[in-house]
Homo-oligomer: A and B are copies of this chain.
Amino acid sequence: MEDGTAERIRPRDRILETARDMFHKHGIKGVGVDAITEAAGTNKMTLYRHFESKDDLVIECLRATACSANAMWQKFEAEHPGDKLAQLHAWVRMAADCLMMDGRGCDMANAAIELSETDHPARRVIKELKQAQRDRLVGLCRDAGIGQAELLADTLSLLLEGARVSLQSVGAEGPSAQFVRMAEGLITSFRAR
């Protein structure tokens, strides 16, 4: 029978969660499978019984990250049902919160930079997941009644992506500090057109 406290998590899930955290903090090439399994309280053999390779583990981590992002979008809808403009502002607020709490950027973007081999299996996944997020933001802008929805969504995307990487290179006092002001200004400007 299952432990009522649900404390005993399956090794596969422990590995996945630990790997996500460590990849996020130290980068993919900055952490080895041994370190992951040790931190997850298990061993290398168990990892390779559940994942074909380290690359496979990386891909599963990225999918899990996308899944978390999906949960965010559902939260926006739940908190502001039907009010697409409020959801857009919630997106900005969430992005800003992640910015100042986190310090490290987007896992997919970081992975894309680290895995420079153009035929790396993770790149396909990154591209399609990022594309899905873009479509989602475009849809939100459109449903919020904004005329040039694609342009606003793409501009917001680039601003956030830029803020994340700027945070890591210039630091928190750099341009990324103005993210909310820029994003809100853009939304206002696009709504006025």
Q: Which residues of A contact B (CB under 8 A)?
A: 25-27, 29-30, 104-106, 108-110, 112-114, 116-117, 126-127, 130-131, 134, 151, 153-155, 157-166, 168-171, 174-176, 178-179, 181-182, 189
Contacts and interface: CB of A to CB of B under 8 A. Distances in A.
Given A159-B158, A181-B151, A169 B109 contact: yes
Stoichiometry, copies per complex: 2
A170 B134 contact: yes
B165 A113 contact: yes
A150 B130 CA distance: 30
Nearest to A150: B178
A170 to B, nearest CB: 4
Contacts of A26: 116-117
27 contacts: A29-B29, A106-B169, A109-B165, A109-B166, A112-B168, A113-B168, A114-B114, A127-B169, A127-B170, A127-B171, A130-B174, A134-B175, A151-B181, A154-B175, A154-B178, A155-B178, A155-B182, A157-B166, A157-B175, A158-B158, A159-B159, A159-B162, A160-B162, A161-B162, A161-B165, A162-B165, A165-B165
Contacts of A171: 127
Contacts of A154: 174-175, 178, 182
